[in-house]
Amino acid sequence: MEDIDSFSDIDGITSLIDACDFIITVSNTNAHIAGALGKKTLLLLPKGKGRIWYWTSDKNKSTWYSSIQIIEQSFPGEWEPVINEVRTIVRGFISE
């Protein structure tokens, strides 16, 4: 969205996230905003390097935000299975 400065307009980003049906993201501010808003969120998480400690999961759910579903790589650098899982989940969201 050209009207929102994604680097210095946190209110604009928050409003945009809140207007979405669901969010797909990696570990960044968007994930935390979506989680705080209770927005249905898919978080793509790397295995090994780049994985942040607070994204521990119990049955692929965030410890911190109940609306975030974590989809973690099985092997470092292998994103295809993650993307395929996201595709399946999104199809389910769309058919709801």
- Distances in whole angstroms, Cα of residue 67 to Cα of each of 8, 12, 39: 25, 21, 6
Segments of the chain assigned E as strands: 23-25, 41-45, 57-58, 61-62, 68-72
| In the predicted structure, residue 5 carries a pLDDT above the cut 70 | yes
pLDDT given at position 63: 86
Among 1-15, 34-48, 53-67, which range has the highest average pLDDT? 34-48
Domains and CATH numbers, the chain: 10-95 (3.40.50.450)
Measure the CA–CA gap between 93 and 56, rounded to whole angstroms. Answer: 24
Interval 28-41: pLDDT, tens: 999 999 999 999 99
The model carries a pTM of 0.88
